[in-house]
Amino acid sequence: MTHPSGFDQSVAKSNLSGVLILCAVAAALFYGVADYSGARATRHTAATSVTFAGQSVALLLLLAIVPLTRAQMPSLGDWIWSGGAGLGGALALVSFYTAMSRGSMTVIAPISAVIGMSIPVIVGLAQGERPAPIAFLGIAMAIAAVALVSDVLDHHDLPTPWSAIGLAAVAGIGFGLIFVCLNQTSKDIGLWPLVGQRLVSIPTVGLLILFSRHRRKIPRGIWPLVVLSGVLDTAANGLYLIAVRAGMLSLVSVITALYPVSTVMLALRFDREKLHRSQWLGMALGGASLVIVGYASSL
């Protein structure tokens, strides 16, 4: 019986690290585009309506695709953890979109992203993960990058009330719950956790709509943004799930939390915003943190 050589093991680990980084970066990209699309949609209708409709479309797609993968069915524990991710998702998106409609994106985004990043890092370390020491430099740089890319140092013409800041913090907690709960599901059940997530998040948001006094109708021209936000958010969750199964929760969540970069880039393209000097620095820091955390993931 032959055993893999040290070189073979090194190559396999390098390939696994490459998959991890690719999926985590793609997840960050999709989260950012989904957030931008959802935030644009909430300018015309309620955040609960956007979340409910977008995630309902995503669930229909999941129910059509996931059974075809023939992955093992989840255990009761897996369904519970998936449901926890669904509760976190409902909490995160409704709070995030509502906060974005009340205040400045450049204040809301870094608060939710940093809190969403910190929770899984703390949980991962508490569970015994021990990334290479250089990873902590990458984590600190990622936090600074999110703040700078979101232009937190610049003067904001749009005032952000404390209620919006509080909602941003709640959204960050919700994002953190998604990262932690999905990581607790079994590795051999494929994308079933995404189904369990939506089976909880959609009824939760539906109850919020039922007791809400806000507008519920979605204008016809806004539907593409609504569908895009729901489908890409779910796709991002799937990519994150693949990444975290290949690496450490404390590192994958850091890469994924760089999603405000794509949100800001879309704002530059479609909202005609200008990139300030601090944002350029944030982009550079974000790239450097990605390289450092990616390197730490391969050690």
Residue 97 in any domain: the answer is yes
Residue 114 in any domain: the answer is yes
Residue 5 in any domain: the answer is no
Query: pLDDT 10s digit of each residue in the chain, 299 long?
Result: 555 555 444 444 455 577 788 999 999 999 999 988 998 898 888 889 999 999 999 999 999 999 999 999 999 999 999 999 999 999 998 898 888 777 666 677 778 888 888 899 999 999 998 888 898 998 888 888 877 776 665 655 556 677 888 898 999 999 999 999 999 999 999 999 999 999 999 999 999 888 877 656 899 899 999 999 999 999 999 999 999 998 889 889 988 988 888 877 787 777 666 667 777 888 788 888 888 887 787 76
Residue 73 in any domain: the answer is yes
Residue 69 in any domain: the answer is yes
Residue 4 in any domain: the answer is no
pLDDT score for 7:
44
Domain tally, the chain: 1
pLDDT score for 282:
80
Residue 153 in any domain: the answer is yes
Rounded Cα distance between 11 and 150, Å, is 37
Amino acid in position 48: T
Structural domain containing residue 211 = 15-298
User: Which pTM does this prediction carry?
Assistant: 0.86
Residue 46 in any domain: the answer is yes
pLDDT score for 9:
45
